[in-house]
């Protein structure tokens, strides 16, 4: 619902409990920054340094008031549109579009500066513009992604037809019988119905190719104790967060230590495509 708790991801994470709460929090960051410049007087060299930093911070604070996502001004714009229309998606879309517009303006100004001889400043503007455009675009795409996955649980989309391998299998057998033939990136390691861990293509690099016939899966696999596993009742949105950078792209789905299936990025992509097709008139 529009009045439920929602959280934005990123360095300026904001959790909103209501449309009014989003507006109040959106004002909070720039207001606090501007107030800081007024209440920090100092004398001498220290005062000069603090004064310079204060002007820099003030400039950053004013820039943050530009009404484009993900700037604080963009969050305020999103809150206002959300409050006026009752649609969080429309609010995010408006802030995202304006954020991309601000980014384009910055890149154009940067280009003009480069041509006028102010190369360093121009490049800086261009880089800021590229960064803002990317973040603004991602902000809206993440919202669409969350909406597409909302209400769906892992058990509804996981792959149940999974191939397992025994821990005693050699890397030579694993490579020839599975990785080269089936095209999967990882396999659950199961002995006697008990999950031992997961072996992935990347694990092959732990051993020299000439020793593949002597080294077993157990020697290179990632043990179950070191893996983050999913429950079949886990919401898909939460599962997606666990599959980000640095985490395995395919994760085990367990219930009472019994292997039910695996969830991969390809499963999430399939759900999104289906829901997108169903949403079209």
Diameter of the chain measured on Cα atoms: 76
What is the C-alpha separation between 269 and 271, in angstroms, rounded?
Answer: 5
Q: Taking Cα atoms as reference points, which of 53, 96, 106 lies closest to residue 75?
A: 96
The three-state DSSP-derived secondary structure of the chain is CCCCCEECCCCCCCEECCHHHHHHHHHHHHHHHHHHHHCCCCCHHHHHHHHHHHHHHHHHHHHHCCCCCCCHHHHHHHHHHHHHHCCHHHHHHHHHHHHHHHHHHHHHHHHHHHHCCCHHHHHHHHHHHHHHHHHHHHHHHHHHHHHHHCCCEHHHHCECCCCCECCCCEHHHHHHHHHHHHCCCEEEEEECCEEEEEEEHHHHHHCCHHHCCCCEHHHHCEEHHHCCCECCCCEHHHHHHCCCCCCCCEEEEEECCEEEEEEEHHHHHHHHHHHHHHHCC
Domain boundaries, the chain: 6-149, 154-279
Give the CATH H-level superfamily of domain 154-279. Answer: CBS-domain (3.10.580.10)
- Please list the pLDDT of the chain residue by residue as tens digits (281 residues): 444 445 544 434 444 445 555 555 555 555 555 555 555 555 566 666 766 666 667 667 677 777 766 677 777 877 888 788 887 777 778 888 888 888 899 899 999 999 998 888 889 889 988 988 888 887 777 777 777 777 788 898 898 888 999 999 999 999 999 999 887 888 999 998 889 999 999 999 988 989 999 999 999 999 998 888 899 998 888 887 777 666 667 889 998 888 999 998 888 778 777 776 665 55
Is the whole model's pTM more than 0.85, yes or no?
Answer: no
């Amino acid at each position: 619902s529009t009045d439920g708790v929602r959280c934005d991801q990123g360095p300026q994470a904001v959790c909103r409990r209501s449309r009014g709460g989003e507006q109040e929090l959106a004002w909070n960051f720039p207001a606090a920054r501007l107030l800081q410049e007024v209440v920090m007087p100092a004398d001498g060299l220290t005062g000069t340094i603090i004064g310079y930093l204060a002007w820099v911070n003030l400039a950053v604070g004013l820039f943050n008031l530009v009404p484009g996502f993900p700037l604080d001004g963009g969050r305020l714009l999103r809150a206002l549109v959300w409050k006026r229309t009752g649609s969080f998606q429309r609010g995010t879309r408006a802030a995202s579009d304006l954020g991309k517009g601000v980014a384009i303006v910055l890149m154009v100004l940067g280009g003009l500066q480069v041509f006028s001889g102010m190369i360093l400043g121009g490049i800086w503007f261009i880089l800021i513009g590229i960064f803002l455009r990317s973040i603004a675009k991602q902000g809206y795409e993440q919202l669409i992604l969350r909406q597409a996955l909302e209400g769906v649980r892992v058990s509804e989309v996981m792959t149940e037809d999974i191939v397992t391998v025994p821990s005693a299998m050699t890397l030579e057998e694993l490579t020839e019988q599975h990785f080269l033939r089936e095209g999967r990136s990882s396999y659950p390691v199961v002995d006697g119905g008990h999950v031992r861990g997961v072996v992935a293509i990347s694990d092959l690099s732990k051993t020299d190719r000439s020793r593949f016939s002597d080294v077993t899966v157990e020697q290179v696999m990632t043990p179950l104790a070191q893996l983050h596993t999913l429950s079949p009742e886990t919401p898909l949105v939460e599962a997606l967060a666990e599959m980000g950078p640095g985490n395995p792209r395919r994760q085990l789905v367990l219930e009472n230590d019994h292997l039910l299936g695996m969830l991969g990025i390809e499963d999430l992509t399939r759900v999104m495509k289906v829901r997108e097709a169903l949403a079209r008139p």
